[in-house]
Amino acid sequence: MSIDKDKIKHTAKLARISLDENKIESLSKDLSNIFNFIEKLSKINTDKISPLTSILDHSLRTREDKVTDGGIRDKILENSPNKNEEFFIVPKVIE
């Protein structure tokens, strides 16, 4: 199955990754090969099977409603490439 360039561009936009125009050709080739490989699954009949929901036996565990975290602003902001004492700082979205 071939993945055309427009599909790749649209997917890249969804994934917020910018693509080099000159790399799209080889990317298209690579992805098409990979999808050909994956296509194998279409051969198998899964009409009567439910998709796997969990490989674990137990059900979702819950925790008590208690405040046990937070209040660590310095730690939270420490690694940010752009911040001030209180906030993360990012370029504006164009509204």
Partner 1 sequence: MSEDKSKYLIQGFQDKWEVVIGLEVHAQVSSKSKLFSGSSTTFGADPNTQVSLVDSAFPGMLPVINEYCVEQAVKTGLGINAQINSYSVFDRKNYFYADLPQGYQISQFKNPIVGEGQITLDLKTGTKKIGIERLHLEQDAGKSIHDLDPSNTFVDLNRSGIALMEIVSKPDLRSPDEVNAYVKKLRSIMRYLGTCDGNMQEGSLRADVNVSVRKEGDEKLGTRCEIKNVNSIKFMQMAIEYEAKRQVELLESGKHIVQETRLFDTKKNETRSMRSKEDAHDYRYFPDPDLLPLNLDKSLIEKIKKSLPELPDQKKERFIKNYSLSPYEANVLVSEKEVASFFEEVIKTADKKLTTNWIIGDLFASLNEKNISISQSLIKSKEMAILINSISSGLISGRAAKEVFEVMKDTGADPVQIIEEKGLKQKSDPKELEALIDKILEENTDKVSQYKSGKDKLFGFFVGQIMKVSSGTANPQLVNDILKKKLK
Partner 2 sequence: MSDITNKSLTEIVDLIKKKEIKSEEVTNAYINNAKKGKKLNSFITESFDSALTKARNFDAKPNYESLLPGVPLAVKDLFCTNGVRTTAGSKMLENFFPTYESTITTNLWKEGAFLLGKLNCDEYAMGSSNETSFFGNVINPVKENTVPGGSSGGSASALAADLTPATIGTDTGGSIRQPASFTGTVGLKPTYGLCSRWGIVAFASSLDQAGPMTKTVSDCALMLEAMSGFDSKDSTSIDRKKENYSKKINKNIKGLKIGIPKEYRVDGMPNKIEELWEKGKKILKEEGAEIIDISLPHTEYALPTYYIVAPAEASSNLARYDGVKYGFRSSKGSNLIEMYENTRSEGFGDEVKRRILIGTYVLSSGYYDAYYIKAQKVRQLIKNDFDNAFTKVDAILTPSTPSSAFKIGEKKNDPISMYLNDIFTVPANLAGIPAISVPIGHDKNNLPLGLQLIGKPLGEQTLLNLALSMESKSNFKQNIVKWWEK
User: Kind and range of the H or E element at 34?
Assistant: helix 21-38
Q: Is 14 in the site for partner 2 (CB under 8 A)?
A: yes
What's the CA gap between 60 and 49, in Å, rounded?
23
Cα–Cα distance, 2 to 32 (Å, whole number): 5
| Interaction of residue 44 with partner 1, rule CB under 8 A | no
**Beta carbons within 10 angstroms of residue 6's beta carbon:** 10
**Contact set for partner 2, span 45-64 (CB under 8 A):** 46, 49-52, 55-56, 58, 60-61, 63
Q: Is 40 in the site for partner 1 (CB under 8 A)?
A: no
Residue ranges in contact with partner 2 by CB under 8 A: 3, 7-8, 11-12, 14-20, 27, 30-31, 33-35, 37-42, 44, 46, 49-52, 55-56, 58, 60-61, 63, 72, 75-76, 78-82, 88, 90-94
